[in-house]
Amino acid sequence: MNLLLSDLIDSFESDSKNQKDKYDQFLSYVYITFDKKIRHSSSKKVKDKYKEIQKSILQYIIANKKEIIKNIK
């Protein structure tokens, strides 16, 4: 698991006890976090970089669902 994903997991806080709900909230959290970075960037190059990171990290989270569920609090 890369450092960026670890930082996202550490900064995520859920109000749910259900693991499925936490996972769904985490997916939303990651999407929204990168969406904010994309919207607040003025350079097209930076926006494209964040879009690519967002896409790849969401794919990783979906592909490694069980591992992510274990790591989120």
Distance CA 25, CA 52 (A): 21
What is the pLDDT at residue 2? 81
Local confidence band at 30 (pLDDT 50, 70, 90 cut-offs): very high
pLDDT category, 15, cuts 50, 70, 90?
Answer: confident
pLDDT value of position 33: 94
CA distance 28 to 21: 11
| Rounded-to-integer distance, Cα 4 and Cα 13, Å | 16
